[in-house]
Structure 1
Amino acid sequence: MYISSLRIRNYRCFEDTRVGFDSGVTVLIGENNSGKTSLLNALRLIFEGGGARSLEMHDFYRGISPSQEPPSISITATLASAEGEDTPAELGTVATWLSEVGEGEWEAKLTYHYYLPDDQQDAFQEQVGDDPNEEEYWRAVERVLPKYVSRIDAGEPGTEEPGYARVEPRDLNAFGVNSLDAIRNVEREMFSGRKPKLRSMLDTVLREDPEAKEELEREASQLVDDLRERINLEALFELAEETGAEDGGTPDIDGRLREKDFLKALRLVVDAGSGGTLPVTYNGLGYNNLLYISLVLAGLQTETVEEVGPENATVFPMLFIEEPEAHLHPALQFKLLKFIHERVEHESGSQQVFATTHSTHITSATGLDSIVSLSENQDGDITPSYPGRVFRYMEGEDGQGSKAYVERFLDATKSTMLFARGVILVEGISEQILIPTLANACDYSLEDEHVAVAGVGGRTFKHFLPLFGANLEDGTPALDRPVACIVDADPARRQDGGQYENCYPYQIGNQEDDFEYRPQSGVVETLEQYADDNSNIQIFCGEKTLEYDLALANPTNQSLITRECVHREHLRTLANVGEVGEDLRAKISDNTSEALNALDDPDRAAARFATYYLECIEGKGGHAQALNLNLREAGGEEYEVPTYIRNAIAFACQ
Structure 2
Amino acid sequence: MYLSEVRIRNFRKFGEKADASPGLVLFLNKGLNVLIGENDAGKTTVIDAIKTVLLTQSREYTRLEIEDFHGTSNELKIECIFKGFTVNQAKDFLEWIGIDNDKGYSLRVFLSARKDVKGKIFIDDIHAGNDTEGQILHSKARDLLRTIYLKPLRDAENELAAKRNSRLSQILYSHPAFSDGDEHELVRIIKKANLDIEKYFEYEEMTKDEKKVLQSINSFLAKFSDNKNILKSNIELAQVGLKTILEKIDLLLLNVKSGLGSLNQLYIAAELLLLRIEKKEGINLALIEEIEAHLHPQAQIRVINYLQELSEDVKSPMQILLSTHSVTLASSIKLKNLIIFTEANAYSLAEGNTKLHSGDYRFLERFLDSTKANLFFAKGIIIVEGDAENLLLPTLAAKLNKPFAKHGVSIVNVGSTALLRYSKVFLRSSAPDMKLPVAILTDCDEKVSEIVDSSIKMISDRNSIAKNLDKRLKYSAANVIAYVSPEWTLEFDMACSCLKNELYAAILMARDYTNQDKALTEDRKIKEIKNLDDYLSDAEIKLAEWEMYDKFTLASNIVKDVVLKKNISKTVIAQCLSEILEYRDFTNEEIEAIKNDTYLKYLVDAIDYVTGD
Partner residue in 2 for 1:605: 554
The change in CA–CA distance for 1:504 and 1:570 in structure 2 (over 3 A counts) is farther
Between 354-363 and 45-54, report the one with greater CA deviation.
Answer: 45-54
Shift of 1:47: 0.7
For structure 1, the 5+ residue unaligned runs are 65-70, 117-140, 244-250, 306-313, 377-381, 496-500, 511-516, 581-595
Residue in structure 1 matching 2:80, options 60, 77, 80: 77
Shift of 1:436: 0.5
Shift of 1:267: 4.3
Instruction: Report if the CA contact (8 A) 1:571-1:612 is conserved.
Output: no
Residue in structure 2 matching 1:565, options 511, 524, 527: 511
Partner residue in 1 for 2:67: 58
What are the residue-to-residue correspondences of 1:469-480 with 2, within 5 Å?
A: 469=427, 474=430, 477=433, 479-480=434-435
Match of 1:44, SS state, is helix
Residue in structure 2 matching 1:228, options 199, 210, 219: 199
CA distance in structure 2 between the aligned counterparts of 1:521 and 1:346, rounded to whole angstroms: 54
Partner residue in 2 for 1:584: none
Partner residue in 1 for 2:123: 149
1:430 aligns with 2:374: no
Instruction: Report if the CA contact (8 A) 2:391-2:578 is conserved.
Output: yes
What are the residue-to-residue correspondences of 1:445-484 with 2, within 5 Å?
A: 445-469=403-427, 474=430, 477=433, 479-484=434-439
1:485 aligns with 2:488: no
CA distance in structure 2 between the aligned counterparts of 1:454 and 1:447, rounded to whole angstroms: 14
Residue in structure 1 matching 2:474, options 520, 530, 536: 530
Counterpart residue identity of residue 423, structure 1: I
The change in CA–CA distance for 1:475 and 1:462 in structure 2 (over 3 A counts) is farther
1:296 aligns with 2:271: yes
Q: How big is each residue's C-alpha offset from its partner over 1:558-588, in whole Å with a ceiling of 9 and x where there is no partner?
A: 54235432699999756414477xxxxxxxx
For structure 2, the 5+ residue unaligned runs are 17-21, 207-211, 224-231, 516-529
Instruction: Report if the CA contact (8 A) 2:163-2:247 is conserved.
Output: no
Partner residue in 2 for 1:98: 97
Counterpart residue identity of residue 542, structure 1: P
CA distance in structure 1 between the aligned counterparts of 2:122 and 2:135, rounded to whole angstroms: 19
Residue in structure 1 matching 2:362, options 398, 401, 404: 404
Q: How big is each residue's C-alpha offset from its partner over 1:170-215, in whole Å with a ceiling of 9 and x where there is no partner?
A: 43112333434446333333233445454566675866999xx879
Match of 2:40, SS state, is coil
1:576 aligns with 2:550: no
Partner residue in 1 for 2:50: 43
Shift of 1:602: 5.0
Q: How big is each residue's C-alpha offset from its partner over 1:309-335, in whole Å with a ceiling of 9 and x where there is no partner?
A: xxxxx7324332322232233333333
Between 563-572 and 356-365, report the one with greater CA deviation.
Answer: 563-572
Instruction: Report if the CA contact (8 A) 2:392-2:578 is conserved.
Output: yes
Match of 2:501, SS state, is coil
Pairs aligned (count):
551
The change in CA–CA distance for 1:504 and 1:319 in structure 2 (over 3 A counts) is farther
CA distance in structure 2 between the aligned counterparts of 1:208 and 1:47, rounded to whole angstroms: 21
1:622 aligns with 2:562: no
The change in CA–CA distance for 1:391 and 1:201 in structure 2 (over 3 A counts) is closer
CA distance in structure 2 between the aligned counterparts of 1:200 and 1:571, rounded to whole angstroms: 67
Q: How big is each residue's C-alpha offset from its partner over 1:502-561, in whole Å with a ceiling of 9 and x where there is no partner?
A: x99983326xxxxxx575898x67643434553532232232222222233233335423
The change in CA–CA distance for 1:22 and 1:648 in structure 2 (over 3 A counts) is same
Partner residue in 2 for 1:546: 490
Residue in structure 1 matching 2:336, options 349, 365, 369: 369
CA distance in structure 2 between the aligned counterparts of 1:264 and 1:577, rounded to whole angstroms: 79
Residue in structure 2 matching 1:648, options 597, 606, 610: 606
Q: How big is each residue's C-alpha offset from its partner over 1:77-133, in whole Å with a ceiling of 9 and x where there is no partner?
A: 101117xxx383x334333321325777321000101136xxxxxxxxxxxxxxxxx
The change in CA–CA distance for 1:457 and 1:271 in structure 2 (over 3 A counts) is same
Shift of 1:608: 2.6
CA distance in structure 1 between the aligned counterparts of 2:355 and 2:368, rounded to whole angstroms: 20
CA distance in structure 2 between the aligned counterparts of 1:612 and 1:651, rounded to whole angstroms: 33
What are the residue-to-residue correspondences of 1:281-430 with 2, within 5 Å?
A: 283-302=258-277, 304-305=279-280, 315-346=282-313, 348-349=315-316, 351-376=318-343, 382-390=344-352, 393=355, 399-430=357-388
Residue in structure 2 matching 1:507, options 447, 451, 458: 458
The change in CA–CA distance for 1:295 and 1:96 in structure 2 (over 3 A counts) is farther
Shift of 1:75: 0.9
CA distance in structure 1 between the aligned counterparts of 2:27 and 2:138, rounded to whole angstroms: 26
Q: How big is each residue's C-alpha offset from its partner over 1:381-410, in whole Å with a ceiling of 9 and x where there is no partner?
A: x2221223357756xxxx100111122222
Q: How big is each residue's C-alpha offset from its partner over 1:261-312, in whole Å with a ceiling of 9 and x where there is no partner?
A: 987776433233xxxx35xxxx33333232222222222343745xxxxxxx
Instruction: Report if the CA contact (8 A) 1:420-1:451 is conserved.
Output: yes
Partner residue in 2 for 1:271: 254
Counterpart residue identity of residue 252, structure 2: V
1:439 aligns with 2:389: no
CA distance in structure 2 between the aligned counterparts of 1:559 and 1:493, rounded to whole angstroms: 22
Partner residue in 1 for 2:147: 177
Counterpart residue identity of residue 6, structure 1: V
Shift of 1:336: 2.3
Partner residue in 2 for 1:556: 501
Partner residue in 1 for 2:113: 114
CA distance in structure 2 between the aligned counterparts of 1:302 and 1:73, rounded to whole angstroms: 33
CA distance in structure 1 between the aligned counterparts of 2:303 and 2:65, rounded to whole angstroms: 35
The change in CA–CA distance for 1:438 and 1:521 in structure 2 (over 3 A counts) is farther
Match of 2:154, SS state, is coil
Instruction: Report if the CA contact (8 A) 1:42-1:75 is conserved.
Output: yes
TM-score (norm 2): 0.75
Counterpart residue identity of residue 156, structure 1: N
Match of 2:94, SS state, is helix
Partner residue in 2 for 1:23: 30
Between 293-302 and 105-114, report the one with greater CA deviation.
Answer: 293-302
Partner residue in 2 for 1:186: 156
Between 551-560 and 201-210, report the one with greater CA deviation.
Answer: 201-210
Partner residue in 1 for 2:518: none
Match of 1:13, SS state, is coil
Q: How big is each residue's C-alpha offset from its partner over 1:435-482, in whole Å with a ceiling of 9 and x where there is no partner?
A: 10111222311112222111114421121222232xx765864x4322
CA distance in structure 1 between the aligned counterparts of 2:540 and 2:197, rounded to whole angstroms: 98
CA distance in structure 1 between the aligned counterparts of 2:267 and 2:95, rounded to whole angstroms: 36
